Amino acid sequence: MSGRLEGKVAVITGAASGFGAGAAKRFVEEGAKVVLGDIQDDIGQKVAEELGSAAVYVHCDVTQEDQVAGLVDTAVEKFGQLDVMYNNAGVVGALGPISTTPADEWNRTIDIHVNGCFYGCKHAARLMMPREQGSIVSMSSTAGINGGLGPHAYTAAKHAIVGITKSVACELAQHGIRANCISPAGMATPMVAATFGDHTDLQTTREALAKSSPLKGRPGLPEDVVNAALWLASDESGYTSGLTLTTDAGHTIGSANGTPYREYQPFMAEAGKRGV
Ligand SMILES: NC(=O)c1ccc[n+]([C@@H]2O[C@H](COP(=O)([O-])OP(=O)(O)OC[C@H]3O[C@@H](n4cnc5c(N)ncnc54)[C@H](O)[C@@H]3O)[C@@H](O)[C@H]2O)c1
């Protein structure tokens, strides 16, 4: 299928790498015009140039409200409107036990994820409300659903993004604007590869993720997230708002690495034969 975003204009933060770069490419393939924002200017510029006249790159540190405001304003200046805001920028951030987590690293992590998402929602709403339409998509994580799946600050930030999404969806529905978020499990992007060691390559990361996937032999892929973002950005999800859409092969519904479910079912079948 093509043309799923025909006539739409999207802004993507953290668009130089990983899901953001993948979404920029796919959105353009589906007919959108895209404004890419990031702090990795050389790489972001290159990604935009490869997409031709349908894309433009703007330096944007999402912790700076004026830069986020400028990023969304670029959508109107260059392409006439804003239809889709994809709050995607993120980092793993502060690591380690809670008793030793450095406060400055905690604050920086919250700043990028939570304040970045807030500024994105705020300035997207400013431009979307007069047109009474729009779709805001933000990146949470399985760490935004369960504890223990990420570092403390990351987990707190990703839970907050679920909360911002629900709150904003409640307010903006009356203006015809939807807000949703995506919660992926670990996928082979540069961010996750970096956590596997000293910048392990993407293929090695993908193989490691396949081993721990609940879905036998199938790792989570960046395109799984890009497909989810595309659906939420498009009119195909027109009656969906406030949703946390998981792309985790069921990880957060309790099957963890698959073992407990597989063991539990035969156990229950045996119990059933005994008339339980
Ligand atoms: N990869 C995963 O498995 C995974 C899982 C769940 C959620 N996520 C989330 O998905 C989003 C994208 O992650 P990714 O895996 O594609 O990572 P990535 O590192 O490939 O891309 C993240 C991008 O965000 C940019 N960025 C970082 N700080 C920024 C700032 N202050 N302002 C603007 N841009 C900034 C980086 O430069 C980078 O280009 C993040 O929010 C991340 O937390 C990723």
| d(C-alpha 255, C-alpha 19), whole Å | 25
Per-residue pLDDT of the chain (276 residues; tens, 9 = 90+): 589 999 999 999 999 999 999 999 999 999 999 999 999 999 999 999 999 999 999 999 999 999 999 999 999 999 999 999 999 999 999 999 999 999 999 999 999 999 999 999 999 999 999 999 999 999 999 999 999 999 999 999 999 999 999 999 999 999 999 999 999 999 988 878 877 766 678 888 888 889 889 899 899 999 999 999 999 999 999 999 999 999 999 999 975 554 445 555 565 667 667 766
- 13 and 120 Cβ atoms separated by less than 8 Å: yes
- Output the CA 2–ligand 1 centroid distance in Å: 26
Amino acid at site 37: G
Contact residues for 82 (Cβ-Cβ < 8 A; gap 6+): 9, 10, 11, 72, 75, 76, 124, 127, 128, 134
Does 3.40.50.880 match the CATH number of domain 9-273? no
- Output the CA 112–ligand 1 centroid distance in Å: 10
Closest Cα to atom 1 of ligand 1: 187
- Output the CA 18–ligand 1 centroid distance in Å: 7
Amino acid at site 145: I
The domain ranges of the chain are 9-273
- 217 and 210 Cβ atoms separated by less than 8 Å: yes
Catalytic entry in 8, 17, 86, 158: 158
Backbone angles phi, psi at 220, to 5 degrees: -70, 140
